[in-house]
């Protein structure tokens, strides 16, 4: 059976619609054990909405995030710690699950399980349709919007530098979450960390279909924004500053994953070794790794920003 971890924070605008789309899924009554709503201290009507829906559906439970850590990553990590199910799905508070999401995800998971050794960490994920606040289509595919290959996740050196596996499209097994938790402080985001652990310790299966409507609105914490060339040029330094902050968070995650490899007695991954030491390398080494593709991004503008950052960043001392 599946536990669905739904992380909330002031989600009154779209939350009821999201939960109802889950309940309307084919296989909901067959597969879903619990919808664990873990809240980060909402001060709007979120709790009342959940309470009303729970009156008609005893699968829905409300849990206040008592971990003392706030934000999407830690709220989801807390929710995951509350689950005991064999399988888990992650859910944002503002999307729409298409009717076949649960059933199709389980079909792919069961098929993969049948060909793998028992207790192999396993992650299933899908594409997503990008829509606006009123569910009008912005783009039919996340990968099309971001102009990124649907095979990007296959190579670990690419996945550890740019995540394409969204938590809201995931289904994974207990073996994976037992490996991935506890989530380190330096993990960039919960779904990225889970994806990295799945890649190194188990298997990842991609469903080349859109199984959710991924809603974009003014209050998105993380979204799928498309930035035009004019915006990137006009606000160049603003974007470069944000890119620099993101790159440092990526390096911090690599440092954490290096510790994960050591703890699990794994052969160290070369890209993780490079990324975790990137701040301490001389410029010629950084550029060498960039030219070889060890340090990269999926598209030209991202690679250009990375190159500028490598050329202008000062070498740190240990």
| Per-residue confidence (pLDDT) for residue 234, from 0 to 100 | 55
Q: Where are the domains of the chain?
A: 2-215, 229-312
Q: How far apart are CA 74 and CA 56, in angstroms?
A: 29
Alpha helix (H) residue ranges in 134-235: 142-146, 156-159, 174-180, 190-201, 229-234
**Helix pair angle (72-81, 190-201), 10° resolution:** 60
Tell me 280's DSSP state: G
Give me the tens of pLDDT residue by residue for the chain, a chain 318 residues long: 999 999 999 999 999 999 999 999 999 999 999 999 999 999 999 999 999 999 999 999 999 999 999 999 999 999 999 999 999 999 999 999 999 999 999 999 999 999 999 999 999 999 999 999 999 999 999 999 999 999 999 999 999 999 999 999 999 999 999 999 999 999 999 999 999 999 999 999 999 999 999 999 765 555 555 555 555 555 666 778 899 999 999 999 999 999 999 999 999 999 999 999 999 999 999 999 999 888 999 888 889 889 999 998 888 876
Sign of CA dihedral 167, 76, 175, 106: negative
What are the φ and ψ backbone dihedral angles of 213, each rounded to 5 degrees? -100, 115
Say if CB 191 and CB 166 are below 8 A apart. Answer: yes
Spell out the residues 6+ positions from residue 21 whose beta carbon is closer than 8 angstroms to its own. 95, 96, 97, 98
* The CATH number of the domain covering residues in 2-215: 3.90.550.10
Q: What is the pTM of this model?
A: 0.93
3-state helix, strand, coil in the chain (%, to 5): 45, 20, 35
| Per-residue confidence (pLDDT) for residue 221, from 0 to 100 | 52
Q: How far apart are CA 97 and CA 106, in angstroms?
A: 14
């Amino acid at each position: 059976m599946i536990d669905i971890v739904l992380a909330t924070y002031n989600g009154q605008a779209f939350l009821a619609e999201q939960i109802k789309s889950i309940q309307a899924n084919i296989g909901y009554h067959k597969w879903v054990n619990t919808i664990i709503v873990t809240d980060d201290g909402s001060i709007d009507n979120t709790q009342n909405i959940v309470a009303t829906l729970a009156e008609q559906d005893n699968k829905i439970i409300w849990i206040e995030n008592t971990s003392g850590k706030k934000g999407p990553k830690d709220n989801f990590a807390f929710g995951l710690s509350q689950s005991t199910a064999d399988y888990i799905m992650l859910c944002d508070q503002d999307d729409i699950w298409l009717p076949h999401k649960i059933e199709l995800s389980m079909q792919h998971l069961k098929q993969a399980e049948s060909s793998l050794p028992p207790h192999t960490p396993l992650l299933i994920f899908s594409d997503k349709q990008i829509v606006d606040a009123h569910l009008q289509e912005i783009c039919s595919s996340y990968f099309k919007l971001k102009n990124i290959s649907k095979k990007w996740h296959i190579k670990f050196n690419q996945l550890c530098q740019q995540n394409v596996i969204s938590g809201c499209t995931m289904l994974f097994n207990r073996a994976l979450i037992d490996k991935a938790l506890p989530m380190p402080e330096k993990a960039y985001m919960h779904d990225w960390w889970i994806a990295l652990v799945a890649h190194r310790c188990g298997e990842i299966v991609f469903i080349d279909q859109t199984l959710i409507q991924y809603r974009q609105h003014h209050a998105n914490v993380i979204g799928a924004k498309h930035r035009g060339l004019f915006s990137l040029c006009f606000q160049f330094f603003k974007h470069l500053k944000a890119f620099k902050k993101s790159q440092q968070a990526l390096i911090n995650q690599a440092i954490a994953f290096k510790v994960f490899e050591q703890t699990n007695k794994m052969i160290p991954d070369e890209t993780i070794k490079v990324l975790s030491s990137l701040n301490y390398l001389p410029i010629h080494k950084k550029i060498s790794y960039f030219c070889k593709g060890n340090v990269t991004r999926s598209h030209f503008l991202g690679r250009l920003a990375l190159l500028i950052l490598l050329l202008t960043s000062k070498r740190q001392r240990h």
